[in-house]
Amino acid sequence: MRDVAIVGAGMIPFGRRDEDTLMDMLAFASLKAMDDAGLGDKSVDAVYVGNMGGGMLQHQSAIASSLVDRLSLLPAAAETVENGPASGGSAVKNGLLAIASGYYDYVLVVGGEKMREVTGWRATDFVASMTHPQTEYPYGITLPGMAGMFTRLYMQKYGVTREHLLAVSLKNQEMGALNPYAHVEMTLDRGGIFDSPHAIVNNPVSADPLHLYDLCPVSDGAAALILCPLEVAKKMSRPPILIAGFGQATDTHTLQERDDPTDLKAVTLATQQAFERAKLKPSDIHVAELHDAFTILEIAESEHVGFFKKGEGGKAAAAGKTRLGGQIPINVSGGLKARGHPVGATGVAQMVDIVWQLRHELSKNRQVKNAQNGLTVNFGGFGNNVLAFVLKRVDQ
Amino acid sequence: MPVDMELEAVLRPLQYAMPPYPSKTITLANGKVMVVRQAARADVPAILKSVHPCLFIERDYYDIVSARLYGELLAWYRYRVKSEYCLLGQVDGYLVGIVNGRMENEQVGMSYHTLAIDRGLRIGSHLFAAKMEYHMDYLGQESVLIVAESPIGFRRWMIEYPLEKTNIPHELGGGDSYRLTREIYLAAKPRLVVGDRPVPQALLDEAVAEIKFADDDTIRERIAGLKGR
């Protein structure tokens, strides 16, 4: 097995991109990653596209083949990877395995989604299509609904409070406001969304006990990476970013079948695998991008990946330990909460942000000083399919 | 333009006596304080300057809403509409949103339009709620007829209150009217109508002194920028 490195990273600003098709967005992000890698005349051997909703929302299939043609990358192998909101992470995994195995040398991985083409409730319904078709979906469950129930249980079991959720929301919005790629470049004010009696309108209940600003927005966007063998990457001008470890685990489809619905086993297992393969531990990580589709998930995942003990994640967030400059900066990009969550793009976008962090390329107000190791967690379903990646800067 | 006042007396519609809307402040999600106040007829030219760039924004039906609002405000300014009013939202003096409507008769209000210039802060929701508050709590009406041109409006008004569907035609044309009754209003008021009174004098003075507005490009960017907040 060969070591695999990331040598190119690109992203387009997330948000509402009425003027771009899904294919436009995938192409723009791909070109940025290819330019970033300095591929020049070199082509890629294979293209993996992470996308969840092209078939449902754009009535488009065979997206990867179309992208290869659009980018004049013929005859590169092309494959679309659909794995719910973990589609992006799964696409990266496929690229990683393809190079590690020795079958391919250069792989383009791109994740993208165009969700704002439909109304909010149709987008919510589209995402809910990942729930169980007989025991969940027919009863009207949505992902925010699941997250609300999960939050209530987590509050009861571990003492998480709305103050803790608020800390995550304020932090991620603050960081998103500094990120030119973020969907929501707006800081929030504690008074405006929590303390003031006017908060009842500004920040209404969405899925009790979660409020509007506990949820990520519905976004359009795309992000891309270029992967190649580490030995090849070492000859390039910039420090390669090694994919030091990855892990993936699956949990029951329905929440009610789990022994303890607050236990995100797939997160724990996937990150344990990633750490073991990377020969690192949670305390070695300098920056992390966790899948905060809902504020509770950042708190719960920060515990399940091993940054904090169970029941301590909320308190750590409220104490500022997950802020830039804190014990472990989490979602310095703004996370899904502010950068946005075009579902198929997210797993790739998380890695693009970590690559930029490990290359020390970000502006001072977003850069984690001297970051060497990073972690991403891409969370599919309600924790039933999770991918974790440990990235490591390799100085030449 | 010369005005024949004898003819004007025929052309100008009846105006009901309308008690003033008492100004209030609302703290927005970003912590900024929005002053909500009633516009005077003399404010119309300044307001129109802010509406004008929105006429060319197709996104979310801003073009239709703005064109109609422009006409409605102009009609009010030049005495061609019955019992119209306009409420403004201002932050640091800058115009961030506009709503208008009128009295159809003493019992029934006719909601016209809601235009949020700064988006993503629920300014439209706050101002629409202020409009309903005016009809119910200050004009003392029993119902308000409402239509929505945009899906966002439909979600915010028809679903969020929720309003009752009627088969009464609305004077804006379009679909049948939905109706806010006093009963619906009172049920929705605790979760949708907020604001503090009285407005601190300095804030009110700033708002009244000058209706500030961003340049055309900034307004377009705020409403229809690539980010599309």
DSSP string for B74-125: HHHHTT-SSSEEEEEEEETTEEEEEEEEEESSSSEEEEEEEEESS-SS-HHH
- From the number of C-beta atoms within 10 Å of its C-beta (0-12, 13-18, 19+), residue A180 rates as exposed
Q: Convert the pLDDT of each residue in A319-365 to its tens digit.
A: 999 999 999 999 999 999 999 999 999 999 999 999 999 999 999 99
> Contact A191/B27, CB-based, under 8 Å?
yes
Residues in chain B with CB shorter than 8 Å from the CB of A115 are: none
Residue owning tokens 């129930």: A149
Q: Are B176 and B167 in contact (CB under 8 A)?
A: yes
Sketch the domain layout of chain B as residue ranges: 21-224
Average pLDDT over residues B107-125: 94
* DSSP secondary structure letters along A162-211: HHHHHHHHHHHHHHHTT-TT-S------HIIIIISTTHHHHS-EEETTEE
Residue position matching structure tokens 């659909």 = A82
pLDDT recorded at residue A348: 98
Contact B121 A187 (CB under 8 A): no
Helix, strand or coil, per DSSP, at residue B203: helix
Helix axes B182-192 and B123-133, enclosed angle (nearest 10): 140
Query: What is the pLDDT at residue B204?
Result: 97
Type and span of the H or E element at A159: none
State the pTM of this model.
0.94
Give how far A219 is from chain B: nearest CA, Å. 10
CB contact (8 A) between residue B59 and residue A116: no
CA–CA min distance B49, chain A (Å): 26
Q: What is the CATH number of domain B21-224?
A: 3.40.630.30
Beta-carbon separation of B29 and A120 below 8 A: no
Whether the CB of B189 is below 8 Å from some CB of chain A: the reply is: no
ipTM of the modeled complex: 0.90
Q: What are phi and psi of A237, to 5 degrees?
A: -75, -30
CA distance A161 to chain B (A): 20
Say how far apart CA B219 and CA A157 lie, in whole Å.
Answer: 48
Would you state the pLDDT for residue B224? 58
Interface membership of B57 toward A (CB under 8 Å): no
Label residue B227 by pLDDT band (50, 70, 90): very low
Q: Which residues partner with B38 through β-bridges?
A: B87
Are B229 and A203 inside 8 Å of each other by CB? no
pLDDT by position in tens, chain A (length 396): 999 999 999 999 999 999 999 999 999 999 999 999 998 777 899 999 999 999 999 999 999 999 999 999 999 999 999 999 999 999 999 999 999 999 999 999 999 999 999 988 899 999 999 999 999 999 999 999 999 999 999 999 999 999 999 999 999 999 999 999 999 988 999 999 999 999 999 999 999 999 999 999 999 999 999 999 999 999 998 899 999 999 999 999 999 899 999 999 999 999 999 999 999 999 999 999 999 999 999 999 999 999 999 999 999 999 999 999 999 999 999 999 999 999 999 999 999 999 999 999 999 999 999 999 999 999 998 999 999 999 999 987
**Cβ neighbours for B11, distance < 8 A, ≥ 6 positions apart:** B79, B80
For A157-198, the pLDDT digits (tens) are: 999 999 999 999 999 999 999 999 999 988 999 999 999 999
Q: Please tell me which residue of chain B has the smallest CA distance to A17.
A: B226
CB contact under 8 A, A202 and B59: no
B145 within 8 A of B170, measured Cβ to Cβ: yes
* Contact criterion met (CB below 8 Å) for B18 and B85: yes
- The residue type found at A344 is G
Q: How confident is the model at residue B197 (pLDDT cuts 50, 70, 90)?
A: very high
Please tell me what DSSP assigns to residue B138. I
Confidence at residue A9, expressed as pLDDT on a 0 to 100 scale: 98
Q: Letter for the amino acid at A296?
A: I
Chain A residues within 8 A (CB-CB) of chain B?
Answer: 13, 15-19, 116, 119-120, 183-193, 196-204, 213
Q: Over the stretch A265-286, which tens digit does the pLDDT of each residue have?
A: 999 999 999 999 999 999 999 9
Q: Could you tell me the CA-to-CA distances from B35 to A187, A303, B20 in Å, in that order?
A: 20, 43, 15
CB of B10 less than 8 A from some CB of A? no
The domain limits of chain A are 4-119+218-233
Chain B hits for A184, CB-CB cut-off 8 Å, are 120, 229
In chain A, what's the furthest Cα-to-Cα distance? 61
How many distinct helices (H) and strands (E) make up chain A? 15, 11
The span from the CA of A24 to the CA of A271, in Å, is 33
**Chain A nearest C-alpha distance from B58 (Å):** 11
Taking an 8 Å cut-off on Cβ atoms, the answer to whether A197 and B194 are in contact is yes
Q: Which of B30, B125, B158 to mutate to test the interface with A (most CBs of A within 10 A)?
A: B30
Are B84 and B102 in contact by the 8 Å Cβ rule? The answer is yes
Return the CATH class of domain A4-119+218-233: alpha beta
Contact A188 B129 (CB under 8 A): no
Chain B residues with CB inside 8 Å of A185's CB? 227, 229
Whether the pLDDT of residue B176 is over 90: the answer is no
Q: What is the 3-state secondary structure (H, E, C) of A260-323?
A: CCCCCHHHHHHHHHHHHHHCCCHHHCCEEECCCCEHHHHHHHHHHCCCCCCCCHHHHHHCCCCC
CB B192 to CB A13 under 8 A?
no
